[in-house]
């Protein structure tokens, strides 16, 4: 591994889903390309929950109103205590505890009703947000199966996975918090402002003068800390990416002695992360003391002016206490609205990616002119008529492919890497549609079959094995879900997998892990072959199906395959040409065209490309 390649590997950060990053509501979140359009789509998407949203709005406003009234009622109690003390000093009856008791009962009821309304709105809103997230996950999962294969050629698995995990989670959490918080903040702002005016317009004006000072200071902090938060997130991704790649490829790092290079690069990136992290945290940490200092100045001003107005008899002592509480409440919803705007940006960004995915063009699942035969009744005649294909329209890789295959024939497709062998199989199963020409199945264009129906006619064993987390029995039964245990075992015996399965702890009930790493690569291949045998399809496709097994096992599998392929059309892609000597027809491909075709003996007699390819393998092995 060259030094340049090592550096390139280490510089690749992993794809990260949307997040709020350090600083919470202080720092703007990721922005959507089209905020208004996306929010309009989201509102339409959630229209089925409009009745529940109205309930949330009503109970949120109710909770806020009862909460806002509380300080003024509490002020009445304070006034009663103050007046009672003055009366006691002047020789009167003193504090009226009965009246104060009734005031406190009213206050308790107000806060109790407020809490109850808050509980109801929280319960209903949680249901709305989680139902929306559930519905989106379901639609994304269904969409994945309807997208054309070329979509996955353009996107990484991480990008697609991010839609159903990070984006949906971000949307669900943001919806749950932002809607109720926005309604509550606006209602609190209006309610507190009205209550402040009802106590003293003059004191209200003084309190309002605090806002531009606070806003200016917060704006200054955000402006100077934003770049450090962005840099922190960037280098956090670099650190995570390097750690993931280093441990994921630990053996390779050890093999090429790249430990020192990785350590130096990690130290550099870690230093950058440290520098940006402490600066971002320092600036964001300034917000609270600055807001506290400005707020305290406001309280001093309110207390002085309030005392003066009380002496003048304009307001009562309890009103001063109530007003100070309202001033404290008045700044909170403003900060919350700023946080909500940040959450809404993250919500819109996540929703935009989700809707982009859901609106991707789907492949046609159903045939426009359905063939007069069901795929299950096909016998297996396959014809390729002047097939042309390119993954990109401007880069044709299959130029002019024509071949006729009769029922029951065993067809081998051989050729150098990149000749188009696997591509032809993908076209046959309509993972991709041909650019020009046609593929016929029993004389019917494969486009005249529904995609799902067409694929039911094919059994496939790939070079890259795919097994899921579950028992060995369940993995084999995936070929035919209604198969009995006895049929599964028979399929395993035919694939020469029964013997090794019996030696495993648990046998057929042994649980495979997520990577199926608790069995060998060759054993995984045998299990996928057993699955194909159980499926019992009319047309078989074997793409390097025995590439991961030893020579002795390969011979046994080949015999089982010969029995399996009896009476069925079979396409075999192989690099080891010794395994396809008994094929009925060998198609030799090069640069997207068939340059030779015939049986093994016929092609060897011609002494052409196939003969040279065949002999070169034995020369290399010798």
> φ and ψ at 460, to 5 degrees?
-140, 135
Maximum pairwise Cα distance, the chain: 130
CA 572 to chain centre: 36
Q: Which two tokens stand for residue 193?
A: 């402002």
If you average pLDDT over residues 491-509, what whole number do you get?
88
Give the angle subtended at the CA of 293 by the CAs of 287 and 296, to the nearest 5°.
Answer: 135
| Per-chain mean pLDDT for the chain | 80
Distance separating alpha carbons of residues 80 and 107, to the nearest angstrom: 14
pLDDT in tens, 86-125: 777 777 777 778 888 898 999 899 999 999 999 999 899 9
At 99-110, the pLDDT tens digits run 888 989 998 999
3-state secondary structure of 544: coil
> Is the CB of residue 196 less than 8 Å from the CB of residue 326?
yes
Give me the helices (H) in 430-550, please: 451-455, 472-477, 485-494, 498-503, 521-535
Level-2 CATH architecture, domain 371-457+580-622: 3-Layer(aba) Sandwich (3.40)
- Angle formed by the axes of helices 210-248 and 201-208, nearest 10°: 40
pLDDT at 22: 34
In the CATH scheme, what architecture does the domain 33-358 have? Up-down Bundle (1.20)
Calpha distance 436→451 (Å, rounded) = 19
In this prediction, residue 488 has a pLDDT band, given cuts at 50, 70 and 90, of: very high
Please write the tens of the pLDDT for every residue from 210-260: 777 777 777 777 777 777 777 776 777 778 777 777 777 777 777 778 788
Pairing mode, strands 470-471 and 511-512: antiparallel
For CATH 1.20.1560.10, the residue range(s) in the chain are 33-358
3-state SS track over 206-224: HHHCHHHHHHHHHHHHHHH
Packed helices 97-146 and 50-89: angle between N→C axes, nearest 10 degrees = 160
DSSP 4-59: HHHHHHHT-PPP------TTGGGS--PPPSSHHHHHHHHHHHTGGGHHHHHHHHHH
pLDDT, one tens digit per residue, over 535-550 is 888 888 887 766 666 6
DSSP state letter for 250: H
Burial profile 571-595: b = 16 or more Cβ within 10 angstroms, e = fewer: bbbbbebebbeebebbbbbbebebe
Cα(111)–Cα(416) distance, rounded to whole angstroms? 79
In angstroms, rounded to a whole number, what is the distance separating the alpha carbons of residues 573 and 9?
33
Q: Where in the chain is the domain with CATH 3.40.50.300?
A: 371-457+580-622
- Residue 156 · residue 14 · CB < 8 Å: no
What was the pLDDT predicted at 402?
Answer: 83
**pLDDT at 24 (0 to 100):** 39
Q: Of 102-106, 165-169, 218-222, 495-499, where does the model show the most confidence?
A: 102-106
Q: Which of 534, 546, 525, 542 is nearest to 410 (CA)?
A: 542
pLDDT band at residue 438 under the 50/70/90 scheme: very high
pLDDT at residue 225 in the model: 74
């Amino acid at each position: 591994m060259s030094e340049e390649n090592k550096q390139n590997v280490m510089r690749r950060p992993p794809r990260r889903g949307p997040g709020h990053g350090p600083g919470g509501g202080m720092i703007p979140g990721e922005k959507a390309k089209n905020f208004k359009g996306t929010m309009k789509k989201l509102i339409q998407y959630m229209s089925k929950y409009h009745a529940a949203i109205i309930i949330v709005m009503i109970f949120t406003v109710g909770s806020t109103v009862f909460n806002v009234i509380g300080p003024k009622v509490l002020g009445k109690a304070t006034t009663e205590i103050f007046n009672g003390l003055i009366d006691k000093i002047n020789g009167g009856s003193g504090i009226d505890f009965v009246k104060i008791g009734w005031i406190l009962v009213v206050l308790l009821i107000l806060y109790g009703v407020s809490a109850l309304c808050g509980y109801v709105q929280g319960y209903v809103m949680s249901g709305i947000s989680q139902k929306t997230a559930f519905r989106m996950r379901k639609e994304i999962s269904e969409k994945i199966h309807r997208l054309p294969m070329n979509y996955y050629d353009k996107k990484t698995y991480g990008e697609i996975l991010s839609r159903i995990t990070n984006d949906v989670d971000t949307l669900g959490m943001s919806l749950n918090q932002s809607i109720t918080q926005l309604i509550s903040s606006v209602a609190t702002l209006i309610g507190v402002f009205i209550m402040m005016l009802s106590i003293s317009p003059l004191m209200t004006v003084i309190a309002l003068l605090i806002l531009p000072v606070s806003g200016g200071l917060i704006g200054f902090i955000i402006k100077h800390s934003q770049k450090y938060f962005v840099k922190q997130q960037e280098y956090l991704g670099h650190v995570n990416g390097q750690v993931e790649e280093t441990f994921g490829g630990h053996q390779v790092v050890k093999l090429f002695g790249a430990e020192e290079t990785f350590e130096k690069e990690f130290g550099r990136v870690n230093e950058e992360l440290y520098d940006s992290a402490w600066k971002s945290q320092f600036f964001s940490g300034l917000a609270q003391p600055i807001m506290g200092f400005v707020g305290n100045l406001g309280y001093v001003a309110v207390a002085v002016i309030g005392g003066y107005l009380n002496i003048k008899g304009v307001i009562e002592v309890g009103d001063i206490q109530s007003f100070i509480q309202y001033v404290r409440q008045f700044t909170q919803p403003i900060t919350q609205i700023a946080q909500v705007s940040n959450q809404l940006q993250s919500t819109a960004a996540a929703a935009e990616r989700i809707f982009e995915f859901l609106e991707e063009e789907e492949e046609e699942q159903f045939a426009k002119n359905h063939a007069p035969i069901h795929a299950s009744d096909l016998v297996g005649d396959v014809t390729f008529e002047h097939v042309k294909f390119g993954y990109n329209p401007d880069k044709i890789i299959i130029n002019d492919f024509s071949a006729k295959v009769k029922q029951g024939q065993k067809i081998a497709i051989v050729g150098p890497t990149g000749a188009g062998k696997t591509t032809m199989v993908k076209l046959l199963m309509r993972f991709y549609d041909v650019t020009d020409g046609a593929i016929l199945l029993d004389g019917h264009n494969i486009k005249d079959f529904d995609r799902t129906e067409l694929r039911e006619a094919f059994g496939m064993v790939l070079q890259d094995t795919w097994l899921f987390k579950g028992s060995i029995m369940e993995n084999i039964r995936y070929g035919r879900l209604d198969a009995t245990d006895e049929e599964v075992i028979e399929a395993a015996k035919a694939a020469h997998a029964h013997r090794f399965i019996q030696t495993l702890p648990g046998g057929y009930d042994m649980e495979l892990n997520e990577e199926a790493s608790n069995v060998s690569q060759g054993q995984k291949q045998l299990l996928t072959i057993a699955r194909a045998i159980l499926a019992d399809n009319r047309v078989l496709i074997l793409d390097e199906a025995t590439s991961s097994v030893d020579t002795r096992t390969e011979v046994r599998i080949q015999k089982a395959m010969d029995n399996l392929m009896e009476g069925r059309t079979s396409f075999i892609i192989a690099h080891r040409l010794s395994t396809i000597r008994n094929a009925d027809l060998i198609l030799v491909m090069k640069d997207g065209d068939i340059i030779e075709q015939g049986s093994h003996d016929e092609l060897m007699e011609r002494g052409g490309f196939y003969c040279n390819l065949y002999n070169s393998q034995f020369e290399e092995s010798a």
